[in-house]
Structure 1
Amino acid sequence: MNVPVKTDIESPRELVEVKEIVNSLWSQRAIILLFTALTVTAAVTYAIWATPEYEVETSIRPVALSDLDELNESGLYKLLPKDALTRVGSAMQSYDVRLKFFKKNPQYLAPLQAPGVSLEETFEKFNEKAFSLESIDPKKSTSLTETIGLSLRYPQGIDGVNIVKDFTTFVIKSEKEKIASSFKTLVANRIAQVEKKLQSKKSEYEAQKDSKIAQLLEKDQLKKQVLQDELKALRQELQSRRQNRIKELDEAITIAKKLGIVKPTTPSALGDENQGRQGNMIRTEVNNQKIPLYFFGQSALEAERATLETRRSDDFTEPRIDEIQKELSLLATNREAALLKQRDNPELFLKDFADIRGELAHLEQLNVDFDRFDLAQVDKEATPPKSPIKPKKALIVGFGLIFGLMLGIGVAILRSALLSIRTFRR
């Protein structure tokens, strides 16, 4: 099978075309050099007259846990070093915090502030690209602790180093003042709560005391009334007994008069008198029956009746009346209720009063010296940059050279092509 051999017959032609292009470019080297010189001149001019931009950096890291120990030991506010660093970083990123800083330090933006332009408008333009914040995670870097880096780009004429330093100090101080204010508010609120609790305990105690006094007095009053009712009933009973006794005596006196018994006698003696006495004799009488009253004789019965009729009170005849009088006398004053009324300092009798007063004293004496610690520690101080980051003069001139050379070559090639077309048409 015969395979046709392809010969490279176009190579000489291509070489001829390349030579023609090279010759054409060489013949137009003046144009190429002109465009190159123009772009290089423009690049050099820009590099010389462009306003230099600088960049300054600082970094902050968490403080030691012991620095925040005084605040955390208060028991009202808990703040870890990592959380404190996050607060500072969030404040640095805040537009409002940055604006407040420049309002407080307007001299830093004075070189950029044009006549008739407000500070807010100047800050708006400056803030768009000036600040840059970066959080460095120790898990994703060689750093052993979490760090926040703050960088500032600024044109020549601006004191960027002091802006970064003062801004960092301003943010840390502002956040510390916010925490101090929150802490004082928490303490004040807690004191108010404890005082309300103490007042509530006092009111509860007063209510309980009044209730107990009322119960004691009511109990005594009830007992008094019961004893008085008993005393009244006993006196009525004694009076009724006396009247009944008088009636019994009246009947006995009547019988004694009819029997002629004047002196006390016995049934046996009364019988002997009716039969007459026979000699001397000794009588012994055993009788288990009650002897009627008229045997006491008219004289004794009338004497007893007269005494009963003139009696003004029967209280002495009943021992229970003395007991009632004694109990009523004791009930005249309730000593427990009187002592409860005389309590001038109820706080001493409150339950858990010592704990509440101790907590209140602790809160009133609680004081954290916020000047003794910071929320974050500056790890890298802002230092003046050695050179501007913009413009990069060598790079600009290099790009200008390359661009001018390419532009000149392009113009030369286009010019050669146009000349070839014109020659072909002729």
Structure 2
Amino acid sequence: MNTKNHLNQKEGTTEIDLSELIRSLGQQWKLIAGIMAAVFSLAVVYVIVANPVYQAKSVLRVAELRDLDRLNLLDLYSLDREVALQQIGNELESYSTRLDFFRENPELFKALESPIRSLEQSFDVFNEDAFTVTRSAQQQKDGQQRSRYVEIVMEYSGGLNGPVILNNLVSYVHAQEQERVKSDVSALADNRIERLERQLNTALVGYQAAVEMEVAQLREQDILKQNELEDELNALRLELKNQRLNRLEKLNEAIYIATELGIKNPTTLASLSQEQQQRINANVIRAEINAQNKDPLYFMGTRALLAEKEILSLRESDDFMEPRIAQIYKELELLKNNRRVEMLLARDNEKLFLESNSQIRSDIARLQELKSDLGNLRLVRLDQVAVEPVAPVRPKRLLILLLSLVLGGILGVSVALGRSLLRQR
């Protein structure tokens, strides 16, 4: 029973104290309002004095198919559009790339100059929080992540031209990556051109060897043909000489017979005198005549036979007796100049006669054209350029003022409650 009374007394005391506290807060409204006003005033001062922070944003997307199609035409250098965007994003995140850009464009960062810091130190502090790179990746069927766009955000304070810096940075990174790709393509193209030129030189050496072999074969054929013709000529001359010697022997025999028969002038068998026929065995004569298709040689008479013998003895050449000898002379004269050999040896630009020359030179021309036609290479598509912001992103003035009122009220109530509790004790 005593315990219950004690609890009731305590509960009653609590209710009285809470009412007193509320009444006390009402009595101290001026204190609470003063604290709220003080906090709000501090917030107003901060909003006025705080250096505004602005934000510039640029968005890059994958390039069009036609932008990289020419680069992938010759199967020399393959670059996927998503890979190109990913490389640009990596370079935008690279501290060394940003520092190189800063060093090459110091006029854009004059606002960062400080008497207690070097420009590099100032840029290092600025770079820690200024840039934010965001990527959007899309899951592909092969399980790989492919970048679809890259967003770079730059926060800056007054004195810096953020949009110009960001746009120049994006252009700088794209130009650097473009030069890297061009350098790789140029190196690969030079290596391919060198290989094609070595292939062309190898083919040229083979062609020269083939020409030398053909010239040697033609000359060998000419020499062989010439030797064969000269052998044939010598054989024909020997044959004609033997025929002439045989003719002389026949003439000697015929002269002897004609002398014995007393035949000086050409005659026939019917015109022979009876006396001569009686001295000559008729059977022998008839047998000789019947064995030949024409009159015997001695019927020409000694005068004709001796004249022919004298001519044959004085003859120095029998070449006119055989038409084939004239033909041999003609062929030998033609063999003195082989026009095919002269044309082969007179070729100045032997590469023009290579079978693979046209294809190799066409490939070299395409590679050289590709090297010189990469000036318009575009690795990414600039979807959004950085523009001058309308308002700063920090400080958020309205939010700060509202929070100052809330915090001022909480602080004022807390102070008033503390005073009330101290008074009751």
The interval holding the TM-score normalised by the smaller chain is 0.5 to 0.7
Gaps of 5+ in 1: 1-6, 278-282, 420-426
The letter of the residue matching 2:172 is F
Report the Cα distance in structure 2 between the residues aligned to 1:10 and 1:313, rounded to whole angstroms. 173
The alpha-carbon deviation at position 295 of structure 1 amounts to 6.7
Matching residue of 2:154: 152
Matching residue of 1:229: 231
Report the Cα distance in structure 1 between the residues aligned to 2:403 and 2:228, rounded to whole angstroms. 117
- Alignment of 1:306 onto 2:310: yes
The alpha-carbon deviation at position 167 of structure 1 amounts to 2.0
Residue among 325, 330, 345 paired with 2:329: 325
SS at match of 2:172: helix
The alpha-carbon deviation at position 66 of structure 1 amounts to 7.1
Indicate conservation of the 8 Å contact 1:51/1:155, yes or no.
Answer: no
Deviations 1:277-316 (A, max 9, x none): 9xxxxx9986025887667665554444333322211222
Report the Cα distance in structure 2 between the residues aligned to 1:228 and 1:409, rounded to whole angstroms. 142
The alpha-carbon deviation at position 98 of structure 1 amounts to 0.8
Matching residue of 2:28: none
CA-atom RMSD, angstroms? 5.7
- Alignment of 1:106 onto 2:111: no
TM-score (norm 2): 0.65
Report the Cα distance in structure 1 between the residues aligned to 2:193 and 2:415, rounded to whole angstroms. 80
The letter of the residue matching 1:325 is Y
Indicate conservation of the 8 Å contact 1:88/1:171, yes or no.
Answer: yes
The alpha-carbon deviation at position 134 of structure 1 amounts to 0.8
Matching residue of 2:257: 256
Indicate conservation of the 8 Å contact 1:62/1:146, yes or no.
Answer: yes
Report the Cα distance in structure 2 between the residues aligned to 1:67 and 1:234, rounded to whole angstroms. 81
Matching residue of 1:68: 67
In the alignment of these two chains, the number of paired residues is 394
- Alignment of 1:213 onto 2:221: no
Indicate conservation of the 8 Å contact 1:56/1:385, yes or no.
Answer: no
- Alignment of 1:287 onto 2:290: yes
- Alignment of 1:126 onto 2:129: no
Residues 1:233 and 1:192: Cα distance change in structure 2 (over 3 Å)? same
Worse overlay, 324-333 or 184-193: 184-193
SS at match of 2:331: helix
Report the Cα distance in structure 2 between the residues aligned to 1:71 and 1:368, rounded to whole angstroms. 9
Residue among 381, 384, 387 paired with 1:379: 384
Report the Cα distance in structure 2 between the residues aligned to 1:339 and 1:105, rounded to whole angstroms. 65
Q: Show the 5 A alignment for 1:387-402.
A: 387-389=392-394
Indicate conservation of the 8 Å contact 1:62/1:84, yes or no.
Answer: no
Residues 1:214 and 1:68: Cα distance change in structure 2 (over 3 Å)? same
Residue among 165, 172, 175 paired with 2:174: 172
Indicate conservation of the 8 Å contact 1:55/1:151, yes or no.
Answer: no
Gaps of 5+ in 2: 26-30, 141-146
The alpha-carbon deviation at position 59 of structure 1 amounts to 3.4
TM-score (norm 1): 0.64
Residues 1:276 and 1:378: Cα distance change in structure 2 (over 3 Å)? closer
The letter of the residue matching 1:233 is A
How many percent identity over aligned positions? Answer: 31
Deviations 1:301-349 (A, max 9, x none): 4444333322211222333322212211222222333334444555665
Indicate conservation of the 8 Å contact 2:68/2:81, yes or no.
Answer: no
Report the Cα distance in structure 2 between the residues aligned to 1:403 and 1:364, rounded to whole angstroms. 77
Indicate conservation of the 8 Å contact 1:85/1:375, yes or no.
Answer: yes
